[in-house]
Amino acid sequence: MKHAPFPHGFPDLSRRLDGDGPLAVAVSGGGDSVALLYMLAEWGQRRLHVFCVDHGLNPDSAAWTASVGAHAERVGAQFTALYWTGDKPSSGLAAAARRARHGLLAQAARQSGISVLCLAHTADDIAEATEMRAQGSNVGAPQAWSPSPVWPDGRGVFLHRPLLDVRREALRGYLRDIGVDWIDDPANDNPASLRARVRASLRSAVAAENAPVPFAIDLPDLPDLIHTQWADYGLISLRADAMHALPSETALRVLSAAVVCAGGGDKLPRRAELENLLARLPAGGAMTLCGSRIEPAADLIHITRNPGDIDRRPPALSDQVWDGRFVVTGLDPADIRPVCRVRSELSATDRDVLAALPAIVRGHLPVLKKENESKLLSAYNVSGLNCLVMPRFFAALGMIKTESALAGVFGSNSWPGLCNSWPSPCNSWHGPGKRM
Q: Among 48-62, 173-187, 252-266, 310-324, which stretch is predicted with the lowest mean pLDDT?
A: 310-324
- What confidence category does residue 383 fall into, taking pLDDT thresholds of 50, 70 and 90? low
Sheet with 336-338: strands ordered across: 336-338, 366-370, 373-376
Alpha carbon distance 284, 236 (integer Å): 17
- What confidence category does residue 278 fall into, taking pLDDT thresholds of 50, 70 and 90? very high
Which is higher by pLDDT, 138 or 377? 377
Q: Which of 300, 174, 308 is nearest to 227 (CA)?
A: 300
Could you read off the pLDDT of 167-178 as tens digits, one per residue? 999 999 999 999
Alpha carbon distance 289, 403 (integer Å): 32
- What confidence category does residue 242 fall into, taking pLDDT thresholds of 50, 70 and 90? very high
pLDDT of 64 higher than 50: yes
pLDDT of 417 higher than 80: no
Judged by phi (left if over 0) then psi (alpha if -120 to 50, else beta), residue 351 lies in alpha
Could you read off the pLDDT of 334-353 as tens digits, one per residue? 788 899 888 889 989 888 98
Which is higher by pLDDT, 189 or 255? 255
- What is the dihedral angle through the alpha carbons of 301, 304, 309, 311, rounded to the nearest 10 degrees? -130
Q: What is the separation of C-alpha 91 from the centre of its chain, rounded to a whole number of angstroms?
A: 24
Strand partners, 337: 367
pLDDT of 164 higher than 80: yes
Considering the entire predicted model, what is its pTM? 0.84
The amino acid sitting at 308 is G
Q: Among 66-75, 100-109, 225-234, 308-317, which stretch is predicted with the lowest mean pLDDT?
A: 308-317
The CA angle 162-166-171, to the nearest 5 degrees, is 100
pLDDT of 422 higher than 60: no
Can you give the pLDDT at residue 138?
Answer: 73
Can you give the pLDDT at residue 298?
Answer: 84
Mean pLDDT along residues 24-47 = 96
pLDDT of 420 higher than 70: no
End-to-end CA distance of the chain: 54
Mean pLDDT along residues 252-270 = 93
Can you give the pLDDT at residue 314?
Answer: 65
Could you check whether the bond before residue 152 is cis, i.e. omega within 30 degrees of 0?
Answer: yes
Can you give the pLDDT at residue 208?
Answer: 42
Share of the chain above pLDDT 90, in %: 45
pLDDT of 182 higher than 90: yes
Alpha carbon distance 122, 175 (integer Å): 15
- SS3 readout for the chain: CCCCCCCCCCCCHHHHCCCCCCEEEECCCCHHHHHHHHHHHHHCCCCEEEEEEECCCCCCHHHHHHHHHHHHHHHCCEEEEEECCCCCCCCCHHHHHHHHHHHHHHHHHHHCCCCEEECCCCHHHHHHHHHHHHCCCCCCCCCCEEECCCCCCCCCCEEECCCCCCCHHHHHHHHHHHCCCCCCCHHHHCCCCHHHHHHHHHHCCCCCCCCCCCCCCCCCCHHHHEECCCHHHCCEEEEHHHHHCCCHHHHHHHHHHHHHHHHCCCCCCCHHHHHHHHHHHHHCCCEEECCEEEEEECCEEEEEECHHHHHHCCCCEECCEECCCEEECCCCHHHEEEHHHHHHHCCHHHHHHHHCCCHHHHCCCEEEEECCEEEEHHHCECCCEEECHHHHHHHHCCCCCCHHHHCCCCCCCCCCCCCCCCCCCCCCCECCCCCC
Q: Which of 410, 417, 428, 424 is nearest to 19 (CA)?
A: 417
Judged by phi (left if over 0) then psi (alpha if -120 to 50, else beta), residue 291 lies in left
Can you give the pLDDT at residue 315?
Answer: 67
Q: What is the separation of C-alpha 387 from the centre of its chain, rounded to a whole number of angstroms?
A: 16
pLDDT of 369 higher than 60: yes
- What confidence category does residue 199 fall into, taking pLDDT thresholds of 50, 70 and 90? confident
- What confidence category does residue 202 fall into, taking pLDDT thresholds of 50, 70 and 90? confident
pLDDT of 360 higher than 50: yes
Structural domains in the chain? 13-203 (3.40.50.620), 222-436 (no CATH)
Q: Mean pLDDT, the chain, as a whole number?
A: 84
Can you give the pLDDT at residue 430?
Answer: 33
Q: What is the separation of C-alpha 254 from the centre of its chain, rounded to a whole number of angstroms?
A: 13
Q: From the CB of residue 9, how many other CB atoms can be counted at a distance below 10 Å?
A: 14
Alpha carbon distance 390, 326 (integer Å): 11
Could you read off the pLDDT of 72-85 as tens digits, one per residue? 999 999 999 999 99
Q: Which of 160, 76, 74 is nearest to 395 (CA)?
A: 160
Can you give the pLDDT at residue 239?
Answer: 94
Judged by phi (left if over 0) then psi (alpha if -120 to 50, else beta), residue 112 lies in alpha
